[in-house]
Amino acid sequence: MTYRADVLIIGAGASGGVAARHLAEHGFDVVCLEQGDWPDRSAFPGARPDWELAIRKDWAMSPNVRSRPEDYPVVHDDSDIEPLMYNAVGGSMIIYAGTWPRMLPSDFRVRTMDGVADDWPISYSDLVPYYNAIDQQIGVSGLAGDPAYPPHDDYPLPPLPLGAAGRRVAEGHNRLGWHWWPEPNAILSAPYDGRRPCVQRGVCTSGCAEGAKASTDLTHWPKATAAGAQLITGARVSRITMSPRGLATGAVWLDRSGVEHHQEADVVILAANAVGTARLLLLSADDRHCPDGLANSSGLVGRRLMMHPFSVVTGWWDDQVEGWQGHFGASITSYQFYETDPDRGFVRGAKWALSPVGGPLNHILPMRAGNEVWGPDHHELMGRTFGRGASWAIFGEDLPEESNRVELDPDRTDTHSIPAPRVSYRISDHSRWLMAFQEAKAEESLAASGCRETAVASLIPYSGWHLMGTARMGNDPASSVVNSRQQAHDVPNLYIADASVFVTSSGVNPTCTITALALRTADLLVQHRSEQRVPA
């Protein structure tokens, strides 16, 4: 007899881990299928001398560059931004920076307040209890009282160090009369929940060997499995299966040897990121129920992909600030130009996060700001800048457009011969205006902070960490894929827990909101379990 779970979760990253833990701790029989493996922290490269070589190949953020067996190719020839991700237990949290900002009240009401895009069917206040809870689960380091946000619960841990650069820019902003605040980070400043604190090595985005940076392989999966959840790694899902009555019955998956299995479940939760989830919904098309893709009666599956246009503005001081060191989350943040100001000629804004610059290879073979310089001038440049800089990392709000989308590529496949996703994405004129304004202001910030010179790396293509919007949330089934509980309008026992459901992108790093939404979705499933329709 085939084993049937209460809930099948596809993807063991940020949203999958949070949902699994909550459901398992509330008595649900949970099975999760993850195409990657458990991360081996002893293999993380940050403390090794080859760290900066590793991040250009085996530890690249691009699955296409990494090309590990668990990665699937993402075709992006027609995209201004390259989608980035990591496939493992913990998901892309293994390589994220760890900054942990909440979205703001206005982010949920952009149509009403700014006349663009769409409002969310939920509000900031709906998420506050889940933001507060997830901060405790994750172990967030920060300082309450930021006037850029409504008052909320204090963080469980004190803020991480400002560092020399953070202190200088903070003082610069005080001179300008501009906002700054210590950035909340999902990185421990002190021991917490059996984990060790950050050692300021500055390698967060290639995996935190100390385990100080939160990822669900550390913060949620051990608790989820202790509560009975079953996590199957090396399991690549090829499609969601359906009953004749239009309910999801589970998923077909392939193990590492290519042997096909079927996992049955009463409820299916997709948690595979906004590219992977859209790909799976499209792969699950069938002629009888959903010829254009599962849960796609609106035609919006795969559409409205948002990736946050990203620029980096770097400044260099005359003296050393150990610019290679410190947490790569961010030391300080600024929301000075986040909220809409009609005088700027565009709406919405961007969040800034001050980060280290990296080691010598990143300096001279820059993936962020700066140019390659060879010959005698190389040494002059290194002497003038190495260790003396810090970067404002700027994410601009990315307004949704239906032409920015994920489809199935007709030619490329993964190692299991499953069609690869193809991403088409163009940075809009609005985003270009918004980011040009932010870049100019960031240069002003660094100049006021005493930097002798600045450089702008504008709209960097290798920056698609934030994948959002391909199965949007909404109240109207004609114009959205899931409802406010993240339940598919078309398939009442199919939920989407990841950032596919984002209606708009906000201008902040999304993982905090992804996890809060996943916790809310799981919590509402628990509350409404007696009403849940399941296959016979």
Partner 1 sequence: MTAPPSPVATADIDLGRLTALADVMLPAAHGMPAVSDVRAVESYLAQVLGWRNDLLQPLVRAVDALDPSSFTVDRLLALHEEDEDAYVALTTAVAACYYLSPVVRELIGYPGQVAKTYDPFAYTEWVAEGLLDPVVGRGPIWREAPA
124 or 425: whose CB is closer to partner 1?
124
Helices 14-25, 511-527: inter-axial angle, 10-degree rounding: 30
CB 119 → partner 1: shortest distance, Å?
9
Task: Report the residue from 11, 16, 46, 207 that binds partner 1 according to the rule CB under 8 A.
Answer: 46
Q: Is 382 in the site for partner 1 (CB under 8 A)?
A: yes
Residues 6 or more apart from 396 whose CB is under 8 A from it? 308, 309, 310, 311, 348, 349, 350, 431, 434, 435, 438, 507
Task: Report the residue from 378, 426, 528, 533 that binds partner 1 according to the rule CB under 8 A.
Answer: 378
CB 189 → partner 1: shortest distance, Å?
4
Question: In 3D, which of 358, 97, 330 has the Cα closest to residue 204?
Answer: 97
Task: Report the residue from 155, 221, 316, 324 that binds partner 1 according to the rule CB under 8 A.
Answer: 324
Q: Is 292 in the site for partner 1 (CB under 8 A)?
A: no
Distance CA 130, CA 120 (A): 16
Task: Give the x-and-dash track for 63-102 against partner 1 (CB under 8 A).
Answer: ----------------------------------------
Q: Is 259 in the site for partner 1 (CB under 8 A)?
A: no
Q: Could you tell me the two tokens for 378?
A: 């190389």
| Cβ-contact 392, 183 below 8 angstroms | no
Q: Is 180 in the site for partner 1 (CB under 8 A)?
A: yes
Task: Report the residue from 116, 128, 143, 526 that binds partner 1 according to the rule CB under 8 A.
Answer: 143
CB 149 → partner 1: shortest distance, Å?
6
In which element (H, E) is residue 445 found? helix 429-448
Q: How far is CA 345 from CA 112, 436, 437, 439, 533, in A?
A: 18, 12, 10, 15, 48
Task: Report the residue from 26, 109, 416, 432 that binds partner 1 according to the rule CB under 8 A.
Answer: 109
Residues 146-175 that bind partner 1 (CB under 8 A): 147-150, 157-162, 167, 170-171, 173-174
Q: Spell out the alpha helix ranges (H) of 323-403.
A: 360-364, 376-385
CB 76 → partner 1: shortest distance, Å?
17
CB 197 → partner 1: shortest distance, Å?
7
Task: Report the residue from 28, 130, 181, 317 that binds partner 1 according to the rule CB under 8 A.
Answer: 181
Residues 293-322 that bind partner 1 (CB under 8 A): 320
Question: Which residues share a beta bridge with 488?
Answer: 482
Residues 329-348 that bind partner 1 (CB under 8 A): 335-336, 338-340
Identify the DSSP state of 83.
B
Task: Report the residue from 3, 27, 78, 123 that binds partner 1 according to the rule CB under 8 A.
Answer: 123
Q: Is 48 in the site for partner 1 (CB under 8 A)?
A: yes
Stretch that binds partner 1, among 199-207, 275-283, 505-513, 526-534 (CB under 8 A): 199-207
| Cβ-contact 470, 500 below 8 angstroms | yes
Residues 387-426 that bind partner 1 (CB under 8 A): 387
Q: How far is CA 18 from CA 161, 236, 452, 513, in A?
A: 28, 20, 45, 12
Q: How far is CA 233 from CA 7, 42, 255, in A?
A: 16, 19, 8
Which residue is listed with tokens 């970067």? 391
Strands 248-254 and 181-182, sheet pairing: unpaired
Q: Could you tell me the two tokens for 83?
A: 């989608």
Distance CA 483, CA 473 (A): 5
CB 47 → partner 1: shortest distance, Å?
6
Question: In 3D, which of 335, 385, 368 has the Cα closest to residue 102?
Answer: 335
CB 340 → partner 1: shortest distance, Å?
8
Task: Report the residue from 28, 51, 221, 425 that binds partner 1 according to the rule CB under 8 A.
Answer: 51
CB 419 → partner 1: shortest distance, Å?
26
Stretch that binds partner 1, among 2-10, 85-93, 379-387, 477-485 (CB under 8 A): 379-387
Q: Is 115 in the site for partner 1 (CB under 8 A)?
A: no
Task: Report the residue from 291, 342, 375, 410 that binds partner 1 according to the rule CB under 8 A.
Answer: 375
Q: Is 116 in the site for partner 1 (CB under 8 A)?
A: no
In which element (H, E) is residue 249 found? strand 248-254
Residues 6 or more apart from 191 whose CB is under 8 A from it? 197
Residues 227-256 that bind partner 1 (CB under 8 A): none
Stretch that binds partner 1, among 192-200, 218-226, 492-500, 501-509 (CB under 8 A): 192-200
CB 1 → partner 1: shortest distance, Å?
43
| Cβ-contact 304, 400 below 8 angstroms | yes
In which element (H, E) is residue 310 found? strand 310-316
Query: How many residues in the shown chain lie near partner 1 by CB under 8 A?
Result: 80
Q: Is 199 in the site for partner 1 (CB under 8 A)?
A: yes
Taking 3-state DSSP, the helix, strand and coil percentages for the chain, each rounded to the nearest 5, stand at 30, 20, 50
Q: Is 475 in the site for partner 1 (CB under 8 A)?
A: no
290 or 390: whose CB is closer to partner 1?
390
Task: Report the residue from 86, 108, 465, 502 that binds partner 1 according to the rule CB under 8 A.
Answer: 108
Q: Is 128 in the site for partner 1 (CB under 8 A)?
A: no
Q: Could you tell me the two tokens for 527?
A: 């509350």
